[in-house]
Structure 1
């Protein structure tokens, strides 16, 4: 770069640094128009300085490249505590004031900008949903690179600059994320430019990648499939030139890779560029404080100068630090950035803080969905034929894939076929850029199915894909979706916040399909048996989460269609993949799914009158066992009035005051009564149903059966017996809770217990369930 260009970009960097420091410290006197006094300082000093100057340095240089090349680029900040930098650059570019007019581009707006940061009623210290240009919640480390690749998929003109912090680089999800380059198609996808920022330290410890020999680091990145460009030093002018050169080389490489691939000249996988930026932690901040080194040490991580209000030396040092950026040359008399500074920023949507891809709802287009009714499983008499529910859904998803070739993807940890969604491979391949062999099936350089044995990557890719305006589905074995509990938490929090930001447009919902579930993982054993993700989901705000437990194939099709059409939710669908009885024809399934809960009159024997007992169920296996119990009760107690209530939408159990889908008390009471025993067979942990219903009038009468952490490698029916969810135990529960049955029930109860023992013995001798269990169908 020419000297004058170096000076201009250095001035922009200085302005961003000044604004970052001001956010951490200043309550007033934002432009230092008067000497700094204690009352100008925030009473609590919160925030993080150490990573901010490096983030500002990258941002300034990426802006130069955007203007020079007219790039469509977004910026992902992996370092969790880089909030001041993101906000500073959004304000410098004018976006912040457009989104929040009260934070105007002048002295008054700067004062508000500073005051709100890490302040009651203000904004967080990390890169949060409130920050224009962000799709990445920096509060939890490890997911930036996966988000970046998710944003790039099916976005051929987008470049995603992803700053990977050296602390973040130590996490398992980030380590796996480097492999995302094997799934990026240079023909139909955009590009990711990782910038590995080595500033040497985390909160209190050295960073691993900053302390290994440079040759070893280069070999590591080379082994991941990247071409590293190295930038290191601490002298600003020299570093500006080095960074500009490296960035130009990296962007030239990206252009060359994409052009050759798109013109068909190169078929083998090329090494994508990565920039390794090594700069001091807390760069341009205080060198020493109280005789201790600060810049380029862990002491610069958070607030280098503490107690500024009470320590005159620290106050003077802070003023010297702030004035070292020469704010009088960076901001005009009104407090706005001077014209030469504003000219360095891109304009309109080319600003990274205003790029529509960072507010994906602006770009979201509805999916083209076939009519799910066309995929219905024929049902004559309920419970007499069987099908594999997820296989039926797979045929529907096959045609969703066909109709939406550039804005719908399915993510899964090598389980799409295992979960019986294999029909989608009639329409697409699994995308894979690595070596492919003749023995591989459905592997191609591009595709709409993405499989990698890392739930973290599946979740991160899908989040990045959704947040930039597309649609998708994550299918997983139920027990192992727990791996992304924390990632789900972060995404749900993101959605909760964005619902209250008018400028953030709704995005497609995050859809989970959990199959290979707890009750049909009997062959794999105890490690694969855990329905607890439902409990995690239910902890989130009710306006965000939805949980569906369709009892058969047709209800699954109806629920699946609904979830793919929804916005700004996390939808969790639990559905079995094994052959299961069909209960409802399609019209009835649609009505039942729409209600979310209802009486199955064809299975009930209350004749429309008050029942003696209510048998409720939620989930495919609990539904089977409930109806088999009803069959037993009809034979044993033909006079007993039994009502069967099936729950598809778990949120219907809550009061309407607690969840938008909740039933009003009068409707709940009409279904379950207020004074009759309710035996509830539930897919998950029983406590969850009690959590949802504890305010209901009939709650003292509610007895829930579900998974109680008993499991092993066994048969399907022995699995339900281990957890007392089986049909015979449900009959025993009815006997124990319906006094009107009288004393004659003792013999029947003993007979039920004996049947359990006999059926368990049968499994131990024959290795499978008895024919009366395997072959049972609804006889009425």
Structure 2
């Protein structure tokens, strides 16, 4: 059913006669009844642990001893939910609900229970009196559920515990879902965050012909925890101008009286959906016109709406005091207890629930049915919709390696050809996108643009490079927005790949935290199906920042990720192109992981042919026998390496030591899967002690050249027998704009320092090593003089190739 409403261009509506009669009396009564029930259940979840329908007078023992949760934003969220249910039923919409204020958790749990989904997922929380008692008791209670819209909440893909990501998640869900409408409530506190401010630009990337739609609802209830919200206090003409500048047509709905607000919001919602349908119809019938102006709603309601007006002589409704628990001590304060009972009874629970404790029929009639319920929308449990990618054989993209370390290649450029064909193979399914913060070509993944342009629906000019509607390469100079889009895309059942400068992956540290927490909880919920892994390629890394220098030198994202649960994180440091291909293919096939792959984009030596690369990556760690000299006995020293530059410097050191000390028994161990270093009791990929000892020995010195901060290797290996003999060289916060080899020297991970370290830790080399050591020290001095004079590395360094036979 589509309603004919006013088409005036005025977007600040009043409750005139036409709007006041937008809903029929039965529609209005049904909305109001459903909203009252959701609000009652929300208050009950915050306060009650018994007597959920107030069948007896409220007593202190009915109240939870610890009152946790947030009321202030909840009634606005349930108000919107009630209205979305109406239009879903009338228009048969496929709709999701994403809310930035995750504090509104009790409202979304109440909605899922009223719709019946909650009881289907959790049979012990049935739609009866016992289930209702369980529903209110479990909220923010030990052994129960969290206070936010967590994975435990059916219909949710966004917890909202950390603010700023709702809109980017909503757009990520809408990409490639042409029939989906994502209603996204942006809290006025959340709107003050940088990530949210940037995500308004997502309309520039949304193609109405092939993508779904996002309906933002900016909820202005005026306050955060204790301060006013900025957007609620600026003049309305400034606010509306700002939103129009982002490309939206905003409609203001403002008020506090429920009945007029129901009419006004319903009329506005119908108008917005009509406009969305018109934009999509034009694009799908006639092709994309100039960038469309999408509708949105600005909803202004009192904070703590329908709650107590005054508590202890202080204003609560409409103030910051309603943010969390408006009545603070009903368990011990008789006045507070009476006030809470009065508040709960104001919703008339006897009219909302039948004698068995189930919602009355009029409330049930207001719900959509089946998967049209937002709490049961399959997109909100994306693993149900997930289909495996069609992947080309990565072996077909192999770099030909006849001898280790002789030829060079740009590993990520090779990977770009593989990803190009992943995009081509899945073009019809439209379930794979590549995300990069304006760095796709810089990271040498140029080949993907042969398969698809960059997504773009704004103006273009002659000379623009590969910009078009429907493109599947997502580039915006915001790591937050790329991450948010990708998370929304993955959580709704698709696949993606995120390439980023290594140092600036830190920008999304906190988002990774939230996603990891989501996965951890989801993995313990049998009803949530696995989703595609979150795959990072960190390139333009710490050791090759020729254009940028110290500001771009930070390998610590690995350390951050390793802090997450072992069941979730995987870290790979492929040393060349063929190992990179093998690793990325594996990551694209995986589920429910956070995969971090670190690989340089510059020309580097290639070591393994494809067959050897597959074996090495499958093992994750192994001895490179072609580089080792200990085949006839125990090694004098183990040289371990993880990362492309550390691997090259290690091999260069081995090459030099083999020339100087032909009888020195060296074992070269290369690590691709960093988590193999950890104990098997700590990580699923961890090695047993026996396997670790067979590689690293129990008593020989280990010189470990590592891509990142040395302390991480010690953290991963601290329980090993030979930990006291492991000496790690890595990045130690020394950097500048300098030559590639000089960066290694500054951090003492270079071939000369590694060779000196071996000499110092193998006593049997004795006095004869003194001359070699001295020569190495002299070469370090020569290096310094050369680079500061010529601005490039010495020829014997930059032209080095593996020559040991």
TM-score for the superposition, normalised by structure 2: 0.96
Give the unaligned 5+ runs of structure 1: none
**SS in structure 1 of the partner of residue 244 of structure 2:** helix
Distance 2:406 2:250 in 1: 62
Q: Kindly indicate whether residue 720 of structure 2 is the aligned counterpart of residue 707 of structure 1.
A: no
Distance 1:750 1:48 in 2: 68
**SS in structure 1 of the partner of residue 536 of structure 2:** strand
1:608 to 1:486, Cα distance in 2 relative to 1, 3 A: farther
Q: Kindly indicate whether residue 547 of structure 2 is the aligned counterpart of residue 527 of structure 1.
A: no
Equivalent residue for 1:106, pick from 128, 132, 135: 128
| Aligned counterpart, 1:629 | 653
Distance 1:738 1:115 in 2: 66
RMSD of Structure 2 on Structure 1 (CA): 0.7
Distance 1:315 1:296 in 2: 21
Q: CA deviation at 1:745?
A: 2.1
Say whether the 8 Å CA contact 2:397–2:417 is kept in structure 1. yes
Say whether the 8 Å CA contact 2:209–2:287 is kept in structure 1. no
Q: CA deviation at 1:265?
A: 5.7
Q: Kindly indicate whether residue 363 of structure 2 is the aligned counterpart of residue 341 of structure 1.
A: yes
Say whether the 8 Å CA contact 1:522–1:711 is kept in structure 2. no
Distance 1:194 1:650 in 2: 42
**SS in structure 1 of the partner of residue 563 of structure 2:** coil
Q: CA deviation at 1:137?
A: 1.6
Q: CA deviation at 1:608?
A: 4.9
Equivalent residue for 1:402, pick from 397, 420, 424: 424
Q: Kindly indicate whether residue 760 of structure 2 is the aligned counterpart of residue 773 of structure 1.
A: no
Distance 1:753 1:714 in 2: 20
Q: CA deviation at 1:757?
A: 1.1
> Could you give the per-residue CA deviations for residues 364-411 of structure 1, whole angstroms, max 9, x where no partner exists?
000000000000000011100010000010000000000112000001
Distance 1:156 1:609 in 2: 65
| Aligned counterpart, 2:3 | none
TM-score for the superposition, normalised by structure 1: 1.00
Q: Kindly indicate whether residue 241 of structure 2 is the aligned counterpart of residue 219 of structure 1.
A: yes
| Aligned counterpart, 2:33 | 11
**SS in structure 2 of the partner of residue 197 of structure 1:** strand
Alignment of 1:446-525 (within 5 A): 446-525=470-549
Say whether the 8 Å CA contact 2:121–2:527 is kept in structure 1. yes
Say whether the 8 Å CA contact 2:209–2:288 is kept in structure 1. no
Q: Kindly indicate whether residue 92 of structure 2 is the aligned counterpart of residue 70 of structure 1.
A: yes
Q: Kindly indicate whether residue 764 of structure 2 is the aligned counterpart of residue 740 of structure 1.
A: yes
> Could you give the per-residue CA deviations for residues 195-236 of structure 1, whole angstroms, max 9, x where no partner exists?
000000000000000011111111010000000111100000
Distance 1:234 1:762 in 2: 75
Equivalent residue for 1:598, pick from 612, 618, 622: 622
Distance 1:317 1:524 in 2: 62
**SS in structure 2 of the partner of residue 343 of structure 1:** helix
Equivalent residue for 1:639, pick from 651, 659, 663: 663
Q: CA deviation at 1:742?
A: 1.2
Distance 1:347 1:523 in 2: 57
**SS in structure 1 of the partner of residue 581 of structure 2:** helix
Alignment of 1:22-33 (within 5 A): 22-33=44-55
Moved over 4 A (4+): none
Alignment of 1:527-676 (within 5 A): 527-676=551-700
Alignment of 1:115-514 (within 5 A): 115-264=137-286, 267-405=289-427, 406-514=430-538
Distance 1:766 1:266 in 2: 55
**SS in structure 2 of the partner of residue 535 of structure 1:** helix
How many residues get paired?
780
> Could you give the per-residue CA deviations for residues 714-754 of structure 1, whole angstroms, max 9, x where no partner exists?
00000000000000000111111111111332222121111
| Aligned counterpart, 2:106 | 84
> Could you give the per-residue CA deviations for residues 242-293 of structure 1, whole angstroms, max 9, x where no partner exists?
0100000000000000000000165111100100100000000000001100
Give the unaligned 5+ runs of structure 2: 1-22
> Could you give the per-residue CA deviations for residues 52-106 of structure 1, whole angstroms, max 9, x where no partner exists?
0000000000000000000000000101311101100000000000001001111
> Could you give the per-residue CA deviations for residues 100-150 of structure 1, whole angstroms, max 9, x where no partner exists?
100111111111111110011111111101110000021100000000000
Distance 1:438 1:428 in 2: 18
**SS in structure 1 of the partner of residue 543 of structure 2:** helix
**SS in structure 2 of the partner of residue 353 of structure 1:** helix
> Could you give the per-residue CA deviations for residues 575-631 of structure 1, whole angstroms, max 9, x where no partner exists?
010001010000000000000000000000001521000000000000000000001
| Aligned counterpart, 1:57 | 79
Distance 1:648 1:275 in 2: 50
Say whether the 8 Å CA contact 1:522–1:719 is kept in structure 2. no
Say whether the 8 Å CA contact 2:155–2:376 is kept in structure 1. yes
Choose 608-617 or 180-189, whichever is displaced more.
608-617
Distance 1:703 1:436 in 2: 54
Q: CA deviation at 1:175?
A: 0.4
